Amino acid sequence: MKSFLNISLGVVLTGSFLATSFQANAGNPERAGQAGASQLLINPYARSAGWGGANGARTKGLESQYTNVAGIAGTKKTELMFMHSQWLRGTGININTFGFTQKIGETGAIGLGIMSINAGKIERTTEDQPEGGLGTFTPRFTNIALSYAKGFSDNIAGGITLRVISEGIDNVKAQGVSIDAGVQYHTGKYDQVHLGVALKNVGPKMQYKGDGLSTQKTVTNAYGNSYDLTINSKSNAFELPALLNISGAYDIYLLKDSTGRSKTHRVTVAGNFTSNSFTKDNFLFGLEYGWKDIVMVRAGLATEKGIFKGEGNRTTAFTGPSCGATIEIPLGEKKSTFAVDYSYRFTNPFGGVHSFGARINL
């Protein structure tokens, strides 16, 4: 498995150097709109979304597929999860995410996650009938991610994700694949220092194909004969929204026991820098309080250039703040738990993003 660690580290470090070398392009708002598959930038998980996605260095379980895949190695045995998000409430967009992670051997784990976005019904129109009356169509977006992560010591874990991407309507579709890789490192006297690096959404270009790009016309030649002609249009290929996450977190234990720490009262501060290839760079900040890892409340702030300077400068519907809570109930003597997660992300316009769901750790 040393080769796996070398591959993971190599991918992440190479991405880090590339992001640094091409900083002039990274976070360039002029490139916004030049990439596709933007659903890859949506965090569907309530727990990490509650503190702004800043917990990439400390995340564990299935939600690590979005923040830092190395966190899947933290799966204790088996985790099952379902999440639902009302995206930009008022638009009718709903996101369902479900999947599981499973421990393999002493230090390895695999994860399977499926995210499905239903964008609601849109009136079907044509050039001949611009007012509609032809029924509706529903855009759908689906991502299927398969991950593997491994702990190489008590302090280091690495992971990699292969994701299949599908988006489109009934007669036009685009499909592609992407790869994520990440590394987490934990240190400190009480393992309270957390560091993480993750490279996401790296893959070949995607392109739309289908009958919806074809147009039928009736053509009359010079002799007065008419015939039907089918014109096939070809769409341009588009890139994926690759990004690099560099994150850190620090646990503060407010009470101490014989081991020098107590999980009765824990406060964690977290931060994350996201270098985006096609949009503005982000600075994410989060704070979480945990009582015996049973009740957890958290808040976050996602920032980017111009976000606090009014609508004329803000280029995102999100205004920055987020909040959330978790109740995780122990079940039996095998340390199994059942958890309910909720988060809210503030937006303007629309009514924010509500995310909630449940998870079982066996």
Over residues 74-111, the pLDDT tens digits come to 999 999 999 999 999 998 899 999 999 999 999 999 99
Q: Is the pLDDT of residue 315 over 60?
A: yes
List Cα–Cα distances, 306 to 2, 12, 20, 320, in angstroms: 44, 29, 22, 11
CATH for 258: 2.40.160.40
Mean predicted lDDT score pLDDT of the chain: 88
Q: Find the mean pLDDT for residues 147-161.
A: 95
Candidate from 148-157, 172-181, 269-278, 305-314 with smallest mean pLDDT: 305-314
> Which structural domain, as residue segments, surrounds residue 202?
2-361
Nearest-Å Rg of the Cα atoms of the chain is 23
Please count the other Cβ atoms lying within 10 Å of the Cβ belonging to residue 38: 16
Sign (positive or negative) of CA dihedral 78, 84, 85, 91: positive
pTM above 0.75, yes or no: yes
Structure tokens at 40: 């890859």
- Beta partners for 230? 216
DSSP 119: -
- Domain tally, the chain: 1
Q: Identify which has the larger pLDDT, 310 or 4.
A: 310
Distance CA 181, CA 159 (A): 6
- Percent above pLDDT 70 for the chain: 90
Q: Is the pLDDT of residue 310 over 90?
A: no
- Percent above pLDDT 90 for the chain: 64
